[in-house]
């Protein structure tokens, strides 16, 4: 625990808060956007981003640039998640089916955010697409962790107020 000693216009607090740290260390921070300023902020401070590119080439270029910036900030690109938002139209055959595997394997996204206007779209996706993605090893069958951070494969953040001394 550490003293905050915060004084502001609307409140003041000496601290510390007398509760333990979250199992995640801190909440997972996501942000949406694609501008250069956004990428600068995200590469320094954010755990993951949400993007909504329609074209694969644009999504790949964004992913590569953002992960390069994350690396330049001294962070591992593997400890940063890009979630691509899509509104899939589910086909009944593999020939008709949404490009998730292709986008994932091309490095355009690490995960998928599903947008649907109709509730039946979620049911079709779960019943028809998820089993195929699980079969291909792209979609998990069970959760490995009991936190969002763990299931996204993000590292547990260290406490910035703790200093380790190695003898």
Q: Name the E strands within 15-159.
A: 30-32, 48-51, 81-86, 111-114
**Short-list 103, 91, 87, CA closest to 136:** 103
pLDDT of residue 163: 65
Please provide the distance, in angstroms rounded to a whole number, between the alpha carbons at the two ends of the chain: 24
Q: Is the pLDDT of residue 97 over 60?
A: no
**Under 8 Å between Cβ of 51 and 32:** yes
Instruction: Give dist(CA 80, CA 63) in Å, integer.
Output: 10
Mean pLDDT of 83-108: 78
pLDDT of residue 46: 93
Each residue's pLDDT tens digit, 108-140:
998 888 887 777 778 888 888 899 889 999 899
Instruction: Give dist(CA 31, CA 115) in Å, integer.
Output: 17
Model confidence band, residue 165 (pLDDT cutoffs 50, 70, 90): low
Each residue's pLDDT tens digit, 3-23:
778 899 998 888 777 777 888
Q: What ranges do the domains of the chain cover? A: 30-151
**Residue 127 burial (C-beta neighbours within 10 Å; 0-12, 13-18, 19+):** exposed
**Under 8 Å between Cβ of 49 and 111:** no
| 117 HSE (CA, 13 A, CB side) | 1
Model confidence band, residue 79 (pLDDT cutoffs 50, 70, 90): very high
Q: Is the pLDDT of residue 164 over 60?
A: no
Model confidence band, residue 29 (pLDDT cutoffs 50, 70, 90): very high
Fold of 30-151: TIM Barrel (3.20.20)
> Among residues of the chain, what percentage have pLDDT more than 70?
90
**Under 8 Å between Cβ of 23 and 146:** yes
pLDDT of residue 113: 84
Show the tokens assigned to 138: 């792209």
Of 77 and 2, which is predicted with more confidence?
77
């Amino acid at each position: 625990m550490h003293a905050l000693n915060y004084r502001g216009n609307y409140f003041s607090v000496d601290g510390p808060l007398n509760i333990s740290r979250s199992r995640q260390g801190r909440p997972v921070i996501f942000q949406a956007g694609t501008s250069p300023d956004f990428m600068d902020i995200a590469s320094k401070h954010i755990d993951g981003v949400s993007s909504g590119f329609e074209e694969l080439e644009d999504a790949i270029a964004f992913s590569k640039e953002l992960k390069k910036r994350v690396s330049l900030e001294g962070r591992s690109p593997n400890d940063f998640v890009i979630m691509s938002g899509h509104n899939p139209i589910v086909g009944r055959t593999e020939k008709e089916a949404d490009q998730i595997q292709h986008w994932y394997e091309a490095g355009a996204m690490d995960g998928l955010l599903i947008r649907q206007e109709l509730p039946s779209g979620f049911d079709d996706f779960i019943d028809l697409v998820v089993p195929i993605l699980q079969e291909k090893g792209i979609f998990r069958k069970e959760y490995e962790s009991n936190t969002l951070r763990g299931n996204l494969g993000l590292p547990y953040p260290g406490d910035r107020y703790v200093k380790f001394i190695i003898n």
